[in-house]
Every structure is written in C-alpha cells, then in structure tokens.
Structure 1
Amino acid sequence: MSVWALGLNHTTAPLDLRGRFAFALDQIAPTLHSLRSSFGSHRHPQVEAAIISTCNRTEIYCASEHMALDHTVGWLAESGGVAPALLRSHAYTLHDDEAARHAFRVASGLDSMVLGEPQILGQMKDAVRAAETAGALGSTLNQLFQRSFAVAKEVRTATEIGAHSISMAAASVRLASQLFEDLAKTRVLFVGAGEMIDLAATHFAARRPRSIVVANRTLERGEKLATRFGGEAMRLAELPGRLAEFDIVVSCTASTLPLIGLGAVERALKQRKHRPIFMVDLAVPRDIEPEVKKLEDVYLYTVDDLAQVVQQGQASRQAAVAEAEVIIDAGVQSFMHWLAQRGTVPLIRQLNAQADEWRTLELARARKLLAKGEDVETVLEALSRGLTQKMLHGAMAELHAGDSAAREQTAQTLSRLFLRKER
C-alpha cells in the first residue's frame, strides 16, 4: 500500500494561486468523488482520498496499491485551470514516510504560519469527517490521520510549542492598534460568520470598540454571532451602501469572487472624507479586490501580509520544535511499521484459508474412520500424520527444486520457520 500527498501552502504559492485551489467544506464531497473517479477502476480500484483546504493550504492525501502522484497533480491542475508545470513549481509532493511526517507536522502546528497554532488541528478533523462522510476514507488514511491527531496531542502536552503563539486574529488587532490610537473609538465590520471571523471578533471585542456589525449572507447566522459581542447584523447586500460607516473591516467568507470591490471602497472613502480604513482579508480566494491596496487611505492586509507579524517570537520556541520533531519521528516509524504489516495481510489470509481447508479434509476423513469403528488412537495418528504431510509437502518439494544456491537459501528459510527452539 502506498500513501502520497500533494499540496501547496503559504510558503510555496502566492495567495491568488492558492485561491484557485480553495475548497469550501461543502465542496469536499463532490470534489473527492471527482478525484477518485478520475483514477478509473482498472489500475486504481479503491483509491482512498482526503482534502484539507484552509486559508493557508490545500493538500490532497491519497492511499492505494499503486502510487499515482503524476495523475493527482494533473487532476488538481485541471480543477484549478492552470498548467501542470505551473502547479508543480509551487507545490510539494510527498510519499510514504515523507507524507506521514508532513501530516503529523501539520496537525501539530509545525507547518503553520503561526507556529504551534491549534486551529489547523480542528480543520484537519473537519476534513477527515468530510472524507469519511463522502465514503473516501479507508483504513490506511484513517490510521494516518488518527495517528496524526494522537501525535499532535502528545506534542501539545509534552512541549511548549503553542506557548505565546500569535494568531492572525491577534495580529490584526496589533496592526489596527498601530493605525488607530484608541480602538474603543472605532467601528468594526466583520464580513462572514465562520470560525475565523468568530476568532477575529473575539479579539477585537476585547478592545471594546464603539460598535460591532456582522455582515453575512444568512442574516440569522450573522445575528447569532453579533449577539455574542453586543453587536448588530446586516445582510451582505447592504455592505456597499454602509461601508463608509466603518473604520475597520475584517472579511473571511467562502465566496469564490471578491465581495468588496475597488469602486465601493473609493465611494466609501469619499463619504469618510478620506479618513483611513483598516482592512483585513483573511479569505482564500480573496474577498477584497487586490487593487484596493493601492488606495492612499486604505491599509489592506491579506493572510500573507500577516506572516511577518505572527512570526515574532518564533525563535524562542525552537527548542520546543526540536522536542516536537522527536515525537513526530517516533509516530512516523510506528505508522510505517503498521503500513508494512498491512502488506502481509493478504498472504496471512491465504495461509489461514489453506490451513482451514487441510484441517477440514483431515477431520472429515477421521470422522469416517471413527464411524466405521476404527480404533480412536489409530484415527488420531492418521489425522496428525495427514496434517503434518500436507503442511510439509510444499517445503519438501522446494528443497529438491532449483540449483544448489536456491536449495541452500530454501534450507535456511525452512530452518528459521520450522526448527525454532521453544524458549
């Protein structure tokens, strides 16, 4: 059984390219179906697959009897509408122990923009549940991910890898504080109502801004989030007309197209008499058109722009990283040992089936002899002799086959198998 992974993340691919391969959680099932169907049923009859898609990465994990990395690259390139060569130049491909090590590092927060951040673990668990629901998760990938979760828990428990980590939400507040002297005087708009916006709203709410508004496609969900922070909700359609009201805009939705365009921001700035707007676009693909960043009174940050801020303090955690890598190495070795054992399962089943067949034949013969009135000791002797001969027949035949070198190798193997001394 082979395991392989294909991915691109914040260190290998620019934001706009990552946006081409971003999949919302409700897109995972049909996307997995498309991927697995693309392999065909002849060479890859049962390909296991899972897709992890976040603002910082998209990764595909697969398992099958035969590795198919090139096919996976071609499929993903086609799904994103780019040339395979372009995708390869920004992607990483891993297999077997390398793929396992990468999965363990991702789950443990060692491959994140924010070293040690715990959010990726929840995102991986969501991805695994989605793959399982879609019927794409088999025993091999299930083992890989369950072991990655266990390793992540051990890393978080045994090391200080997550100590003092700065999330993108916290980094946003820090940058906003550099622009506005007092965040308590600002009006904040959150676009979206997902996990990232929830986290960002929690951080900003701690600074007690003048007002908090949540704009969401589903008003009910927006109201639920806004109520927690003493804010109000509005429909997404109201956004262009009310944009001028806000000093801070934080957006993270699953929209495939920008929700806040250059024209809308320009109109808002005129209404604000060019008072500055601080904007954070945490979405992949972008929620805010990139041209907005060129406007003189707009301070726009994307997930990639936040990298420098969140990396502060990373040096102090390098000792914890080294400890985490030791735990991960042990986890990789354990998984690869399990994977290697999986390769012998078909042979073990065949051996057990053959032994059962012999046992059934000899028992049937013994019962016939007993029914005829044969002596029990004689029947047991015949039973044991029959089983012994069947078990040794193949080995004896091999000892007399082939050249001298082959016979010598067979003799050594049989000695290890049959002449072991009981301890």
Structure 2
Amino acid sequence: MQLLTIGINHHTAPVALRERVAFPLEQIKPALALFKEAWSGKRSLNAPEAAILSTCNRTELYCVTDAQSSRDAAVGWLSQYHGIREEELAPHVYTLPQSEAVRHAFRVASGLDSMVLGETQILGQMKTAVRTATEAGALGTYLNQLFQRTFAVAKEVRGTTEIGAQSVSMAAAAVRLAQRIFDKIANQRVLFIGAGEMIELCAAHFAAQQPRELIVANRTAERGRYVAERFGGRSIPLSDLPARMHEFDIIVSCTASTLPIIGLGAVERAVKARRHRPIFMVDLAVPRDIEPEVGQLEDVFLYTVDDLGTIVREGNASRQAAVAQAETIIESRVENFMQWLDSRSIVPVIRHMHTQADTLRRAELERARKMLARGDDPSAVLEALSQSLTNKLIHGPTHALNTSRGDQRDSLIELMGGFYRHGQPAKASDAAQPAAAGAEAAPGSADSSGSSDR
C-alpha cells in the first residue's frame, strides 16, 4: 500500500491559486466520493482511503492506494475537479510518499508548518477533516491510525515544548497593520464580516484596543449577535453591508463564501461617500471575500492572509529552540509509525499462512476420522496424522531451500532456526544435503504422494 499526501500551501502557492483549489466544507464529502469512484473505476483497483484538509493556508489530499502511479493520478483528479489546467497546478504541488507524508501530518498538526508558528487552529481543522472523511466512509485502517497518532504527537509537542509561546497570530498581525494606518484604533469604527473562529480571534484583539464602535455582520443573525455581544458590540444583517460600508474605517472579513461578497463597485461607492478617508481592509478568507481589484484603489489598504504572513514570520525566530525540540519528538514518532506500517505489510502473508495451515489440518483430520471409522489402530492413526501434517508443513520451507542459491540460501538458513548447531547457524553446504534428503525421503510428503498444497 502507498501512503501519499499531495497538496499546495502558503509555501508553494499564492492565495490566488489556493482559493481556486480550496474545498468548502460542504463539498468535501461528495468530493471524496468522486475521488474514490474515479480511482477504483478507471484502474480496476480497490477504492483508496482518503481525507481532504482544506484551510486558508493549504489544501491537502491524504490517501492510501495500491497503485504505483498515485501521484500523477491524484494531481490529475485535483486539477480536473477544480477545472484548473494540470500544467498550471502541478508546479505548485508537493508530493509526499510514505514517511514524508507521516512527518508532514505530524508537523502540520503541531503547528510547525503554519504561517503562524505554533498556532492551534490547524489541529481543530485537521480533526474536522478526519471527522468529515469518516462520515463519508473514506477512512480505513491506515489513515485512521495515521491521524490518531498525529493527534497524539500534536498533544505531546504542545505539552512538552514552548512552540506556542508568544506566537504572533493573524489577528494580532491585523491589529499591528491597522495601527500603521490609524494612530489610534480607539477612534475608529470596526466591522467584522462573518462570525467564525477567526473572526472571534480578531474581534478579541481589536476589542482590546477599545474601538469607537464594533459591529458584526453575518448571514446567520443569531450567531452574529452572539459574537458581537461577547465583545460589547452590535450586529447587523449581512444584507445591510452595501448601504453601510462607508461607515467603517476598519473592515475584517472571513466567511466560507465561495465567491467574493465585497466587490470593487461597492467599495468605490463607500470611498466616495467617505470623501476619500482611508479604509483598512483585511481579507482572511480563502477563497477571498474581497475582490483583489479593491486593493488598487488609492484610499483603500487591503491585506490578505499572505500579506499578514510577513508580520507573523517576524516573531518566529525567537521560538527556534522549541522548534528543534518539537522536530526531535516528531522524528521519533515517525519512526514508530513506519515500524507499525511495515508490520502491516506482512499481515496478508501471515493470514494466508494461517488459512493454508488450517486447510491442511482439516484435510488430515478428516482423513484420520475415516481411518478410525474403518477400525484402524488409533495409535497408528495418530502417528500417520502427525507425520503427514509435519511433512506438508515443512514442504514449503524445504522446497525453498532446495531451489535457492548463494546469498538467498544463506538468508533462508539464517531465518529458519532449525538449522543451527550449538547456537550457531550451519553453513549452506552443510544444510543443503539434509534438506534435500528430507524432501526426497519423507514418506507421505507432498512430493512422494503427488498431491499439491502450494
């Protein structure tokens, strides 16, 4: 089985591309169903395990397949699903197989791969992605184990290191940028569009500056009212936004809309009504809530998540010691997971061995019952049963020894502990003759009886 992660993130792709590859939460279940169907249908393979993690900073597909050409097939599906030319998408896509995929999942959940080093929001987003994949029936043994260990590693990293200490969040960065435009946020009116976790974080930071007015506009009135009242503000219907946008000096937007909700024309009218007093706007959504062209207006200061990332990175250097400690923990846990993964690869072989052995056992038992039924001596029946079982069970290893040569034979002898003398492995030349003799002379063996149990 091939464990694989493919994706794009803030390191490899600009927000303009990330928003085109993003999956709204309500689309993930049907997307996973389409991915599994496309994969198994075109290649006559087992449907893969899969999960999709889509945030403002990344879109990643975690999957387990039995195909060697997994990378090209996954990238092709992603580009087809979003209607993006593969040659346009591929240069920005990273492909992480096996241990690299495991290491990446551990780092992402621990906040080491985030724009905000050590941030905790990504862990909740990953848990949501796993829950959604589970509900879609897309997870199996391998990804279940991967994500459970991922969450355990994230908990260990956050509990034993200072990776999250003094982190500069996106919300704090937004306040810092606003302070570059306005001397005092206390004199400004602030509008928040949306009422999700990111908006709550931003509202908390701006509320600490005691703005002149704090307003929340949200599609769901009850949720908007809850967030506004929590920070001493008021809520308004989202439908009021076009008519009231000119009232606000600072606008922070982060919704789950798949299309922009603030267009160029609306902002132009707001700027004109404000007599060209500046507007500070922060778009934290992916896909973006505010049309990019708005940033070209002379009296508008528009910033995206990528713009805020520059400020965030300035505070990351002081946490490098914690990063090194976290990376050490992760490397150890990656090794543990890969050992588990290797052990899983022999499970089908062991299962087959048990099935074959049980088939032999049943056949010989039935044969012994028939001998007893016709009146044969029970001692002779037991002797024949044990001898026949022994011959058939050692037939495979004996045949392998007889047909192997050189290093392969030496390896087999080392693995088969029955060819040891005084605790030391016998030489291949010494073991070959007894093995061959045993294969040829054993009465009732598969070779002598002509039956086949391979």
Report the secondary structure of 1:40's partner residue. helix
Distance 2:176 2:164 in 1: 19
Match of 1:69 in 2: 71
The answer to whether residue 78 in structure 2 is matched with residue 79 in structure 1 is: no
Residue in 2 that maps onto 1:195: 197
C-alpha change, 1:209 and 1:342, in structure 2 (3 Å) is: same
- Tell me how far apart the structure 2 counterparts of residues 371 and 44 of structure 1 sit (CA, whole Å): 49
Higher RCO (Cα < 8 Å, 6 or more apart): 1
Distance 1:395 1:99 in 2: 37
Distance 1:333 1:220, change over 3 A: same
What does residue 57 of structure 2 align with? 56
- Alignment of 1:19 with 2:19, yes or no, is yes
Q: In the alignment, residue 284 of structure 2 is paired with which amino acid?
A: L
2:94 is matched with: 92
SS of residue in 2 equivalent to 1:260 = coil
2: CA distance, partners of 1:341 / 1:99: 18
Paired position in structure 2 for 1:349: 351
Query: Contact 1:6 / 1:91 at 8 angstroms: preserved in 2?
Result: yes
Give the drift of 1:380.
3.5
1:374 Cα deviation from its structure 2 partner: 5.6
SS of 1:278's equivalent?
strand
Distance in 2, Cα, partners of 1:412 & 1:265: 75
SS in 2 for 1:256: coil
Quote the residue 2:127 is aligned against: 125
Partner of 2:412: 413
Contact 1:183 1:207 in 2 (8 A): yes
Match of 1:143 among 141, 145, 148: 145
Match of 1:264 in 2: 266
In the alignment, the residues of structure 2 paired with residue 324 and residue 195 of structure 1 have an alpha-carbon distance, to the nearest angstrom, of: 26
Mapped to 2, the partners of 1:173 and 1:28 lie a distance apart of 33
C-alpha distance in structure 2 between counterparts of 1:291 and 1:44, whole Å: 46
C-alpha deviation, 1:284, in angstroms: 1.0
Unaligned runs of 5+ in 2: 424-454
Task: Give the structure 2 partner of residue 47 of structure 1.
Answer: 48
TM-score by length of 1: 0.93
Superposed CA deviations along residues 195-248 of structure 1, whole A, max 9, x for unmatched, are 211221222222232322211122222223223223222222110101111121
CA distance in 2, matches of 1:131, 1:399: 47
Runs of 5+ consecutive residues of structure 1 not aligned to the other structure: none
The alpha-carbon deviation at position 365 of structure 1 amounts to: 3.7
Q: Please, which moves more after superposition, 159-168 or 383-392?
A: 383-392
| Shift in Å, 1:183 | 2.2
Contact (CA 8 Å) 1:43, 1:66: kept in 2 or not?
no
Identity, % of aligned pairs? 59
Counting matched residue pairs gives 420
Runs of 4+ in 1 over 6 A off after TM superposition: 420-423
What is the CA-CA distance between 1:98 and the residue it aligns to? 1.4
What is the CA-CA distance between 1:69 and the residue it aligns to?
0.7
Q: Counterparts of 2:19 and 2:175 in 1: how far apart (Å)?
A: 24
Q: Does the residue aligned with 1:352 lie in a helix, a strand or coil?
A: helix
For residues 177-188 of structure 1, what are the structure 2 equivalents within 5 Å?
177-188=179-190
In 2, the alpha carbon distance for the partners of 1:292 and 1:409 equals: 70
**Alpha carbons of 1:391 and 1:102: their partners in 2 closer, same or farther (altered >3 Å)?**
same
> Which structure 2 residues correspond to residues 123-272 of structure 1 after superposition, within 5 A?
123-272=125-274
2:436 matched residue in structure 1: none
CA distance in 1, matches of 2:397, 2:281: 76
**Computing the radius of gyration over CA atoms, which structure comes out larger, 1 or 2?**
2
RMSD: 2.2
Q: TM-score, normalised by structure 2?
A: 0.87
Which residue in 2 is equivalent to 1:304? 306
Distance 2:334 2:413 in 1: 33
* 1:163-212 superposed Cα distances (whole Å, 9 cap, x missing partner): 11111011111222232333233221111112211221222222232322
C-alpha displacement at 1:301, in angstroms? 1.0
Matched residues in 1 for 2:413 and 2:367: separation?
29
**C-alpha spacing 1:420/1:339, structure 2 compared with 1 (3 Å):** farther
Tell me whether 1:6 sits opposite 2:6 in the alignment: yes
Distance change >3 Å, CA 361–CA 414, structure 1 → 2: farther
SS at match of 2:388: helix
